[in-house]
Structures are given as C-alpha cells and as structure tokens.
Structure 1
C-alpha cells in the first residue's frame, strides 16, 4: 500500500486528486494540506511514501517545502512529485534541485497520475512532456562551460546499449519510442535506464538527463 500526502492550496484540486487516487486500491491518501508549512510537522508524525506537492502556495512555495523536506527525509525514504500548471524551465530545475523526484502537470489524466506515482515510488522519475522539454531546452540553451570530468568517467562504465538509451532519453524520447527505434522491448529500455542510473549515481530519470548534459553527452 502506497501512502500519499497531497499538498495544494486549492480545496477543489485536493478533492479532485483524492478522487483520482481512489481509483487505484493500492494507493491511500494519508492526508491533504493547504500549504507547504504544514507538511514538515505532518511528516514527522505521519510516515508516507510520496508527497504530491503544488508549486504556487501561500506561506512557502512547493520548491522551498521540498527543500525543507529533504533536510529531514532522504529520497530513498520519501519521494516527492511536483504537480503544477507551470512548466517553465526555471521552475522545473528549481524543483528538481530541491530534491523532487518527478514533475507532472495538473492536467494529467488519472492514468498518467497513477502511472507517474508508481514510477516514482518504484525508484524512477516521472516528468511530463512539457517538463521534459523545459529541462532539455534549458540544458541545450545553457550548456555547461566545462564538462564535468567526474561525471564523464561515470558514464564510461556504461555499456554501449546503456549509453545509447541514455542519449535517447536525454533527447526527450519515452520508453516506447526508444524501444521502437532500437527494436527492443520497453522493458529492456527501462532495464538499461535503471542500470545506467545506478552506475552514474542518478536518483531518477530527470537527474540522469541533467548528468548527461553536464558530462557533455549531447543528443
């Protein structure tokens, strides 16, 4: 059973998310809060597996709330997925740097939301198409002035197939698209991606994309 905390300042949004999550018997809403400040003390008393975090809220925003959560809870202990209507690259990057594990739009369908939650809780990272485009756009517009040699050495441990998958992920393709291009199954693509993340020390798919660009491995 996956325990989830919803943090959003709009009552109707929290109610809508709760309704969507109730469609899956493996998900349970442990609580819903109207601002980020409440999340910190709540989590001290109520262990959950994942926080669904809004960005724009009174008090402190979702980025700062995520940053404070990370001071007390590691990514292995607690996952954070940002839900927002904003897909600008600065927000995506700020949320990921604060320790978020995924980034989905509030317009995501129930299936996309549940699928994203399961992906993130399982150790992966979910990024909406718009968030992926924003992240990749930022990296290509502002490439690192100096290649991170330490990261480049980590990528040297990848097999040729793992490296191919990583570069295609960094180009914005999903598992199904990569599978079709490489003539393998989506499960094989996911396996390569997970192994690559382990070898380079990326906590999720989003950080893997960031590491790829910082290592100078542009698609």
Structure 2
C-alpha cells in the first residue's frame, strides 16, 4: 500500500483529491495539511510514502516546504510530487532544486495522477508535458538566469551520446521516444540516462532535468 499526504490550502481540493486517490487500489490518503508548516509538522507523527504538494500556499509555500522536508528527512524521506498550474516557470525550477521528485499539472486526469503517485513512490520520476514545457520555456528565455558554471562542470564528463540523450530528456522525451529519435533501443536509451544521472549526481530523472537546465543545456 502506498500512503499519501495531501498538502493544499483549499479544503475542497483536498477532499476531491482524496476521493480520486482512494478509489485506486494500492493508494491510501493517510494525512492532509493546509500549508507547508503543517505538512512539515505532520511528518513527525505520520509516515507517508508520497507527498502531493501544492506550490502556491499562504505562509510557507510548497517550495519552502519541499526544501525543509528534504533537509529534515534527506533524499530517502518521503517522495514529493508537486501539483501545480505551472503559471510561473521559476517556481517549477525552485521546487526541483529543493528536491521535488515529479510534477503534474492541476489539469491532470485521475489516471495520470494515480500513475504519477505510483511512479514517484517506486523511485521513478513523473514529469507532465506542462512541466517540461515550463523548463524549456525557461532555458529558451533570453532574460532567464545565466547558466551556473558549477552545474555546467557536472556535465563535462558525459560522452557525446550521453549529452545528446540528456538534451532529449530536457525536451521531454521518454526512453522509447529517445530511442526512435537517435536510432537506439529504449533499453539503451535508459542506460545512457542512468549513466548520465550517476555522473552528475542526480537522484532521479527530475533532478537530471533540473541540473541540466541550471547548466544551460538546451534541447
């Protein structure tokens, strides 16, 4: 059973999400919080596998909550899936840097939401098309923050093929799509992605995208 905490300042949204999530076998909402402060405190008394986190909340917002949870619980703590409208690209990037494991738009359907929770619980990533679009928009913006030299150095040890695959990951392609684009098998594409993550120290695909964006790697 995958246990879930809902963090959103709107009670009606939490109630709706609870009904949707609890309807799927193997998923169980065991805690709720209306703001970041409450979410951080609740983790002292309840153990959850996945936190479904809103970004825009009064008081402590989702980005700060993600940061504090990661500082207190480490990378082995609860997995965090951000649910957002993606109206501000910098918020998506900030949450990634803080340690979020995946992003879904608030317009995601029930099946996409349930699958996203299952994926991050299993240690994989969950990035919706909107999340990739926000990141690509950021790196394509001439007024965006310039590349971080320290992050760029992380990618210097990648082979040309690995760097090519990273660019395709930033573009939003999955392993099968990467394979078709560069004429390799999905398994080989996954291998290149995993090697790139290991070399740059990314815990998952979401953080690989975050580091790549900060390094100025564009699709």
Q: TM over 0.5: same fold? A: yes
Match of 2:43, SS?
helix
Q: CA deviation at 1:216?
A: 5.3
Q: CA deviation at 1:192?
A: 3.5
Cα deviation, 1:21-61, whole Å, max 9, x if unaligned, reads: 12322211111122221111210111111111112223221
Mapping of 1:71-150 within 5 angstroms? 71-141=71-141, 142=144, 143-144=146-147, 146=149, 148=151, 150=153
Match of 2:155, SS?
helix
Task: Tell me the TM-score normalised to structure 2 length.
Answer: 0.85
1-side partners of 2:166 and 2:89: how far apart? 21
Q: CA deviation at 1:181?
A: 2.3
Task: Tell me the TM-score normalised to structure 1 length.
Answer: 0.85
Give the equivalent residue in structure 2 for 1:44.
44
2-side partners of 1:14 and 1:145: how far apart? 37
Q: CA RMSD in A?
A: 2.4
Change (3 A) 1:62 1:213: closer
Give the equivalent residue in structure 1 for 2:9.
9
2-side partners of 1:191 and 1:99: how far apart? 23
Give the equivalent residue in structure 2 for 1:63.
63
1-side partners of 2:148 and 2:33: how far apart? 42
Structure 2 residue 155 is matched with structure 1 residue 152: yes
2-side partners of 1:108 and 1:187: how far apart? 28
Q: 1:82, 1:100 within 8 Å by CA — same for their partners in 2?
A: yes
Q: Which runs of structure 1 show a deviation greater than 6 angstroms over 4 or more consecutive aligned residues? A: none
Q: CA deviation at 1:188?
A: 4.7
Change (3 A) 1:49 1:90: same
Q: 1:87, 1:130 within 8 Å by CA — same for their partners in 2?
A: no
Give the equivalent residue in structure 1 for 2:181.
181
Give the equivalent residue in structure 2 for 1:34.
34
